[in-house]
């Protein structure tokens, strides 16, 4: 594996995903279809540029790790425990029904029972990556639907790990007779319990202590690096030391970090890398697909697809309903499982190596995976709309605009000026969310019952976490070099937002206004106004005249700064 091959795979994979993803969006299709098509185009089964599939899969693994880490950050242990009573029996019942259905259908087509059951077990597992993206699109990932669905997939992952341990014992031709299945499962169970105990200890004491030390350096790069080390390190350590999947290890790593006050910033720092590498997951899946399989084994593919897209979601929905959840929740949860993904390929690969399934079974698994992943966003959209008709308590989020809360103010910076603004707004009964990189200030505000987020406002996602979409106003109380970018981003997220911003120099005021600020307060101008007020007060001018004079001074100063900015801009354009 040479360096050039790695770079070509990374560059060509992302470029193809960008091109075909853009076309898919323009055609009003899910971008996932474009990513999968990109994988087919650059894969070994089609002519033209061929990238290294092994390297692409390794990049994709990073995307899966970061995605599961991000999901774990937003999950709280109490939420996971709350859905455990549904997730454990639900995963067992749904997997049994889906596996049995495919095994029976394939038996009628001449397959032996062992091959049918193993392929059925492979398709009974859903892709967490696909599920997370679809649930996020409909704002369901962190709602009850998402909690149940993700908790369910965690149980499926654990079951798959157990199955991967058992397959070589049961089907390997050179297996020794003294191997004990109970001992293997017991050891696996002890390892998983040990991993959970270590994650709890890390999340309660070690991770918060380490992140606090790094945060005090005020280095963005070090904090981002620390997040990556935690996500990837715990994921790899879980796989090597405890025998679980790296995806499950990354989820547990997210749970551990999520227990600390650094959760919001950690999730935001990992976001850009997560999205890029997650796209490569779909590219790597597309590279597995041989288009000729549609001609070679069409009936097997159709049978597998029937179980994945229809029988499996029905089994999941009925299971959720049997466990006491309303129909409005059961329908979308079932639809979220109408696909197969990363663990299916791992299980299918092991089964192919052990000759439990043949090439026809493998090709059917890959083809069904590609098609079901492409269809899943549309299946979920239909299910979501149907559920909204069943119960108004679960509205279709996309069709309803978010309600703006005029009294909600997001305050960036909690220095001396920020504290004055916070106190005045609090006295007036406003709901305030503070964003600050001073950990001591954030802790103090949270201890006093105020909402405060420890995070970098220049990082994508921080404003969303603060509730910018429904806020009435945004105040930047500290002098930030890239304030214009913050204003532009805030305007995109909430066009009706009232934005008040502070800057040090008059020369910066015009650019901030052009970026979309409603009110700009420049330190130079406000000092001049304050001094002029002292002079007018000495002359005992009337209050009304003093106010008029104050506004006149402000207007002259800011307009002059704006005109100077325009002149400089024109000269620059002429050059």
Q: Is the CB of residue 510 less than 8 Å from the CB of residue 531?
A: no
The pair of three-digit structure tokens given for residue 197, joined into one six-digit string? 């105990």
Residue 573 is predicted with a pLDDT of 54
Lowest mean pLDDT among 237-251, 364-378, 387-401, 411-425: 387-401
> What distances in angstroms separate CA 328 from CA 126, 310, 315, 494, one per listed residue?
21, 18, 15, 30
Give the pLDDT confidence of 145-156 residue by residue, as tens digits: 988 998 898 888
CATH architecture, domain defined by 3-397: Up-down Bundle (1.20)
Q: What are the beta bridge partners of residue 435?
A: 412, 453
Whether the predicted pLDDT of 345 surpasses 90: no
Lowest mean pLDDT among 101-110, 418-427, 564-573: 564-573
Give the pLDDT confidence of 234-292 residue by residue, as tens digits: 999 988 888 887 888 888 888 888 878 888 788 877 766 777 888 888 898 888 888 88
Q: How far apart are CA 74 and CA 80, in angstroms?
A: 11
Whether the predicted pLDDT of 430 surpasses 60: yes
The pair of three-digit structure tokens given for residue 532, joined into one six-digit string? 């002029």
| Confidence at 200, pLDDT banded by 50, 70, 90 | confident
Host H or E run for residue 476:
strand 471-476
Whether the predicted pLDDT of 539 surpasses 60: no
What pTM was estimated for this model as a whole?
0.72
> What distances in angstroms separate CA 427 from CA 85, 120, 272, 376, 422, one per listed residue?
45, 62, 39, 49, 9
Q: How far apart are CA 532 and CA 556, in angstroms?
A: 13
> What distances in angstroms separate CA 39 from CA 13, 234, 355, 509, one per listed residue?
7, 29, 27, 48
Q: How far apart are CA 527 and CA 524, in angstroms?
A: 5
Q: How far apart are CA 523 and CA 507, in angstroms?
A: 11
| Confidence at 160, pLDDT banded by 50, 70, 90 | confident
Whether the predicted pLDDT of 183 surpasses 50: yes
Residue 5 CA to its chain's centroid (Å)? 29
CB atoms within 10 A of CB 181: 11
Residue 571 is predicted with a pLDDT of 56
Q: Which CATH superfamily is domain 401-503 in?
A: NAD(P)-binding Rossmann-like Domain (3.40.50.720)
Lowest mean pLDDT among 104-113, 354-363, 396-405, 498-507: 396-405
CB atoms within 10 A of CB 233: 14
Residue 397 is predicted with a pLDDT of 43
The pair of three-digit structure tokens given for residue 336, joined into one six-digit string? 């979220």
Residue 404 is predicted with a pLDDT of 81
Q: Where are the domains positioned within the chain?
A: 3-397, 401-503, 523-575
CB atoms within 10 A of CB 246: 22
| Confidence at 398, pLDDT banded by 50, 70, 90 | very low
| Confidence at 543, pLDDT banded by 50, 70, 90 | low
The pair of three-digit structure tokens given for residue 313, joined into one six-digit string? 């979601």
Mean pLDDT of 180-185: 72
Lowest mean pLDDT among 4-13, 407-416, 523-532, 559-568: 559-568
Portion of the chain with pLDDT greater than 90, in percent: 37
Whether the predicted pLDDT of 449 surpasses 90: yes
| Confidence at 396, pLDDT banded by 50, 70, 90 | very low
The pair of three-digit structure tokens given for residue 491, joined into one six-digit string? 């305007």
Give the pLDDT confidence of 309-332 residue by residue, as tens digits: 999 999 999 999 999 888 889 999
Residue 520 is predicted with a pLDDT of 92
DSSP string covering 152-221, please?
HHHHHHHHHHHHHHHHHHHH-TT--TT--HHHHHHHHHHHHHHHHHHHHHIIIIIHHHHHHHHHTTT-HH
| Confidence at 530, pLDDT banded by 50, 70, 90 | confident
Burial profile 100-125: b = 16 or more Cβ within 10 angstroms, e = fewer? bbbbebbeeeebeeebbbbbbbbbbb
Q: Is the CB of residue 486 less than 8 Å from the CB of residue 456?
A: no
Give the pLDDT confidence of 55-108 residue by residue, as tens digits: 888 888 888 888 888 888 877 767 777 788 888 899 999 999 999 999 999 999
Whether the predicted pLDDT of 445 surpasses 90: yes
| Confidence at 532, pLDDT banded by 50, 70, 90 | confident
Whether the predicted pLDDT of 400 surpasses 50: no
80: closest CA among 162, 144, 137?
144
């Amino acid at each position: 594996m040479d360096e050039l091959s790695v770079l070509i795979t990374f560059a060509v994979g992302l470029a193809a995903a960008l091109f075909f993803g853009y076309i898919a969006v323009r055609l009003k299709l899910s971008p996932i279809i474009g990513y999968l098509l990109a994988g087919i185009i650059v894969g070994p089964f089609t002519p033209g540029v061929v990238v290294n599939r092994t390297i692409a899969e390794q990049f994709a693994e990073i995307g899966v790790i970061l995605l599961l880490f991000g999901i774990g950050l937003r999950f709280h242990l109490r939420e996971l425990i709350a859905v455990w009573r549904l997730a454990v029996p639900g995963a067992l019942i749904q997997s049994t029904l889906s596996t049995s259905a495919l095994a029976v259908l394939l038996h009628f087509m001449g397959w032996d029972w062992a091959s049918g059951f193993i392929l059925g077990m492979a398709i009974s597992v859903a892709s967490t990556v696909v599920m997370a993206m679809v649930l996020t699109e409909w704002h369901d990932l962190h709602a009850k639907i998402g909690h149940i669905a993700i908790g369910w997939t965690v149980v499926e992952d654990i079951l798959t790990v157990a199955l991967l341990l058992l397959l070589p014992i049961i089907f390997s031709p050179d297996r020794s007779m003294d191997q004990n299945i109970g001992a293997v499962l017991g050891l696996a169970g002890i390892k998983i319990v040990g991993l959970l105990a270590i994650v709890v200890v890390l999340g309660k004491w070690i991770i918060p202590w380490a992140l606090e030390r790094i945060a005090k350096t005020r280095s963005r790069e070090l904090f981002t690096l620390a997040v990556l080390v935690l996500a990837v390190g715990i994921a790899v350590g879980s796989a090597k030391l405890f025998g679980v999947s790296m995806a499950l290890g990354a989820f547990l790593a997210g749970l551990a970090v999520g227990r600390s006050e650094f959760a919001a910033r950690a999730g935001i720092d990992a976001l850009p890398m997560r999205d890029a590498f997650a796209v490569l997951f779909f590219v790597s899946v597309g590279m597995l697909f041989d288009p000729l399989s549609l001609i070679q084994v069409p009936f097997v593919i159709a049978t597998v697809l029937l179980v994945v897209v229809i029988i499996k979601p029905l089994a999941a929905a009925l299971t959720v309903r049997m466990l006491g959840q309303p129909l409005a929740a059961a329908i979308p949860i079932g639809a979220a499982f109408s696909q197969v993904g990363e663990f299916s390929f791992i299980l299918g690969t092991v089964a192919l190596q052990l000759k439990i399934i043949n090439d026809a079974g493998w090709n059917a698994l890959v083809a069904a995976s590609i098609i079901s992943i492409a269809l899943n966003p549309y299946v979920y959209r239909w299910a979501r709309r149907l559920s909204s008709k069943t119960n108004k308590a679960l509205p279709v989020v996309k069709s309803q605009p978010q309600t703006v809360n005029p009294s909600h103010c997001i305050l960036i910076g909690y220095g001396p000026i920020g504290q004055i603004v916070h106190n005045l707004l609090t006295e007036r009964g406003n709901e305030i969310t503070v964003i600050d990189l001073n950990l001591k200030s954030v802790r103090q505000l949270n201890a006093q019952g105020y909402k405060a987020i420890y995070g970098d406002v220049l990082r994508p996602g921080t404003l969303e976490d603060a509730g910018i979409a429904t806020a009435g106003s945004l105040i930047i109380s500290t002098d930030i070099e890239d304030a214009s970018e913050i204003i532009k981003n805030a305007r995109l997220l909430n066009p009706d937002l009232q934005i008040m911003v502070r800057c040090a120099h008059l020369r910066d005021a015009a650019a901030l206004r052009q970026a979309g600020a409603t009110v700009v307060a420049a330190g130079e101008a406000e000092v001049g106004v304050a001094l002029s007020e002292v002079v007018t007060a000495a002359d005992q001018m009337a209050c009304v005249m003093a106010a008029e004079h104050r506004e006149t001074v402000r207007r002259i100063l800011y307009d002059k700064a704006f005109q100077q900015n325009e002149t400089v801009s024109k000269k620059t354009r002429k050059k």
